Structure 1
Amino acid sequence: MSTEAVAWAMDQAPMPRTEKGKADTTARHVLQALAEHASPSGTDAHPSVLRIQYRTGYDRTTVQRALRRLERAGLIAKDGMVESRIRYKLAMELRRPATDWSDLEREEDDFRAAAAERKRRSRSKGVTHAESVTVTHGNAVTVTHTESVTADVTDATPSRHALKVRPSRTERRPNHQQPSDNQLHKDSSSPAAQTDEPKGELHLEAFGAFWTVYPKKRAREEAKKAWIAAIKRGAEPKHIVNAAQAYARERFSQDPKYTKFPATWLNKGCYDDEPDPQPGPPRLRAVGPRTAPRDLNHMTDEEKQRALNF
């Protein structure tokens, strides 16, 4: 393999074009495969069609057509035969014009400008200007705001307007005292936001109790997010803590790698699972002079062996 020939085929050789003027990437790929078998001067390139197929993944007909297009473009020329294979010479004296790079840069700039324009138009569609806003309240009062504010109030029977627009925070309410900034913030927030925001920090003190009793303490922040989500779904903190204690007893003396992460345990709602039954320790007849039964957890290894062989 010649690095000079490969570098020429990849970066310096003119880009072959199709009949429609588009880049002929197939012929370009075949040219690179030929360069891998050429000498530093671009001669003695004689890979078989089968070898080029293996290198590029193209079928035999595609490779042969690409070779003919490269010959017509003057990038390669036949230079005899080697063991029934055609030998080619690469036209390494040809160079790609510098305008190819500048054309690509210009296309990139045009693409970025078009993307920025689409983004600007998308944002402008969601902007509502408050210079002239018509507001219809539920008590059938119509207020028209302009640069010089004029308020016309007409009492009528209650009716629904086809379009209801919430008043801007910066607009003054006619015949009423200007509300404070805190009141504006309270009025502008939706009921769902008013309930969800404090609820997200609700029972975080109880989370400390959960974290204390849970058998595996990993990824505390993820567990805290899962805790808040579980509370929002309606789970009781005391119920979760009790379930975590039961799970800790269940996993006691078990392989810790099979213990769930706290966030996984909370997200899957495992606090509502029924705990596995915990059978008591096996009771065996005493060995030797002892008359009271003992369990395996309080026996020595020698006593266990004698008890099991009894």
Structure 2
Amino acid sequence: MSTEAVTWAMDHAPMPRTEKGKPDTTARHVLQALAEHASSTGTDAHPSVLRIQYRTGYDRATVQRALRRLEKAALIAKDGMKEGRTRYKLAMELRRPATDWSDLEREEDDFRAAAAERKRRSRSKGVTHAESVTVTDSEGVTVTHAESVTDECHALKVRSSRTERSPNHQQPSDKQLLEDSSPAAAANELEKPVASVQTKSGSEKRDHHLEAFGAFWLTYPKRRDKEAAKKAWIAAIERGAEPQQMVDGAKTYAQERKDQEPKYTKYPATWLNNGCYDDEPDTPPGRHLRAVGDSGPYRNPENPSDYHQEW
């Protein structure tokens, strides 16, 4: 192996081109394999096609086509035969033009500049300019179009939502959630003066009604078809039902269905839609045995011999 020939093939040899003007990397690889078997002057390179296949990983036809392209580019020339193989001479006097390196540097600079411009544009699209709007307290407020906001925004005061709590704020109890979700609490809330927004969207109203649904769902004896149960829960509240009343009714119903056949237990949506939370509880089963006559409830005899007494 000649260091001079290998260095020339890797760095200084002109880059062979395809018919479309693209770098012919396959031919370049075959040229480097030839250089590994050449002398320091580029002569006496006679590896077999099989050896070049082993070195490059290409098939036989690919290696032969690459050799013909190298000959056509005048980078190699046949120099007789040796040991039954074609011997090649490398054109080490040829040098790669310096513009190849400068062109690569220019392409790299253009690529970096284009990447920086794409990044700048991406950042500029994520910025919303609203210099004409001044908001005193903007928790939960999103301004989408500055021109549609009036001077009332200067005094806008929006109360933070229930879910946005301070780190030291305690989570409300289930009882508090039930009270807040009741129609009476909703009526009191409407009577309070509101500084900004006086109506709730459909999704906010739905979430407000569902705050106590979790307690009902955990209490009810059969947890099936949860989405239908949520709709029935909201409909019951809008009809005037109290959340605490429905939860208590579910507890009573769960006690009634204890140790009973599960398949006869009503689905929660059916139970809510039928207003079963208003039903009177069933009388608990029990034995009410009384003795013959008006002597009061039956009692076991204290004397065992009374069991054998003939009546």
For Structure 1 versus Structure 2, the TM-score category normalised by the shorter chain is: 0.3 to 0.5
TM-score (norm 2): 0.46
TM-score (norm 1): 0.46
- Larger relative contact order (Cα-Cα within 8 Å, sequence gap ≥ 6): 2
Whichever of the two has the greater Rg, that structure is 2
